[in-house]
Structure 1
Amino acid sequence: MSFDNKVVIVTGSSSGIGAAAAITFAKEGAYVVIVGRNEEKMKNVSNKCECFGKKPLVVKADISKDDEVKKIIDETIKRFGKLDILINNAGMFVPNDITSDNFMEGYDRVMNINLRAPVYLTHLAIPYLIKTKGNIVNISSVAATSIFFASSILSYFVSKAGLNHFSRGIALKLAEHGVRVNIVSPGPVRTDILDTTSAFTTWDKLAESTPLKRLSEPQEIADLILFLASEKAKGITGSEFISDNGFVLAK
């Protein structure tokens, strides 16, 4: 899959799935825009991308803030003059029981990062994606349709369900412009975002909870993202692709 001279924004690309996707896009010839908050981690990812011949653009941004979301698009267009692919990958969750006094504080934080930010970034990116007949891949989760951990990460479930429905809606809207929109929904993956699950489980228990008795690695999800963003998937839009080692089958 060649992405030679394609411009790709990957949010949350300082580590995990986002980092793997950014590096793999760079390997395939893309100009990558690395977006995150941890400068040291982003520099490490940038160096790995640059090994493949193209210097990435690194944008430090808190996507819960509208002006910083706008900065991502502005700096991308200023540097490269176009946008071909948007990967909305950044996400987070916090354990927050709906019966807790501070539930809404955690809820708002999760929804702002996981749903509002991708919606706003997509809104800003659409005019440029229409010009290039580009595409969007939104990184969701099996949590969008399955309830586990006794709903102790309820806000995360809701945000991902909303992201899925948003993705299908804009897939239909943008199809007339030749812009595709798809969803990747991983199950348990060895990434930073799952470190907080130590409150309810362990990596070994998570692996045992899947029929294949394994966890995914970030590169596996990155490979799926690249497929959906490529010409090989030119007839696919509004679809959700699950990579979860059979996790939802056991729920």
Structure 2
Amino acid sequence: MGGALTLTLAALAYPSMLGVSNVTTAQDRVIATTQWGPLTELDRDFVVKVRAAGLWEYPVGQIGLKKGTSKAVLTASEHLIDGHAALDTTCRKIAPMLNITLPNVASPQQIGFVNTLNAESGEKFDSDFANILRITHGSIFNTIAKVRSTTKNSLVRALADQANNTVLDHITVMEKTGLVDFDTALFTQTTPPKLPKSDLTPPPPSAGQPEVVLTPPPTATSTPVDISGAVNANPGPTVG
């Protein structure tokens, strides 16, 4: 694959699809005690940025349905829309339960992904679409594993389970396009550029702004996680 694509991916790629660049001691700090278990900074960031991921990948899926030139790219686009609509429903369900404010706009870097792909067409679009999304999804695995293995909050665990399944599905459909440059993907995932936090952080919603809803497609096969079990998993104090 050409050097131009490598430079594009190096400029766009980042440590985690969710924007959590490093797991630090501060992120393990408990910020709220809830009836579903303690909520840490990492837990809160995870919920916020799962939402943010959908705010750029859902529209990229819509772009892919219009611009994709192969059946595999069209299929991958359908999976992006389907999977992130379901994740978004879960995020919007559990966020008010945990007193978490969700963004209505993706991070500046994520918007850059959308703008880059929106400006492309033909084979270049197909190639950059598959590689950018394979890299970002590949990078998220460790973050999801960290959250899933350390969180004591049953709602966050349920979201992590759903996110893991969705990310694995999206990795798989990107690889099935036959366009992924695995050497470039591995290099970019393991040596991401250092970006300012402002580039990785979605802005808070404006006061009075209606909540953006990612609508499931008519043919949706992904479903939001059933949180009924999670709700009863950690009986304890109410939010304090």
Structure with the largest fraction of strand: 1
Q: Shared topology, TM-score over 0.5?
A: no
Taking structure 2 as the reference length, the TM-score comes to 0.33
TM-score by length of 1: 0.32
